Amino acid sequence: MDFRTTFAAVDTAVLGMVGDTAVLDITGDGSELVSAVGEFDAPWLSPQLGSLRTDVLEPMFTLQSIGEPVGVDLSRVVKGITKLQFAGKTYLVVDVKPDGTGLAVLPLRPLD
């Protein structure tokens, strides 16, 4: 098994156990909803790594774009149209940034 495949399996296991659950509204009008498991980060949550503060400037959702059962096909996500619903709030997806390892970051803009 190669490096990428091995870590995709690790990502799947970790996200499946501790990931945040959100809903992607692909078309932005509620007609196509997709469940997504990933990690929600926002500046108001003051994310820290030990005593080192991270520089999260905007809300973002990191998710696995490949692999079952938590991977999401992001090819249909439309920047500025697709919405993400998490913890009772709605966000507009402003970009899709794959990291080359099977994960992707969705920078978000709050709508509520």
If one compares 35 and 1, the residue with the highest pLDDT of the two is 35
Would you say 91 and 59 are in contact if contact means Cβ atoms under 8 Å apart?
yes
pLDDT in the model for residue 1: 66
Convert the pLDDT of each residue in 27-73 to its tens digit.
Answer: 999 999 998 888 888 876 655 555 555 555 789 999 887 655 456 78
Report how far residue 6's alpha carbon sits from residue 8's, in angstroms, rounded to the nearest whole number. Answer: 6
Convert the pLDDT of each residue in 59-71 to its tens digit.
Answer: 999 988 765 545 6
Residue closest to 87 by CA, chosen among 53, 58, 112, 55: 112
pTM of the model: 0.75
pLDDT in the model for residue 107: 95
Report how far residue 46's alpha carbon sits from residue 29's, in angstroms, rounded to the nearest whole number. Answer: 31
CB atoms within 10 A of CB 98: 12
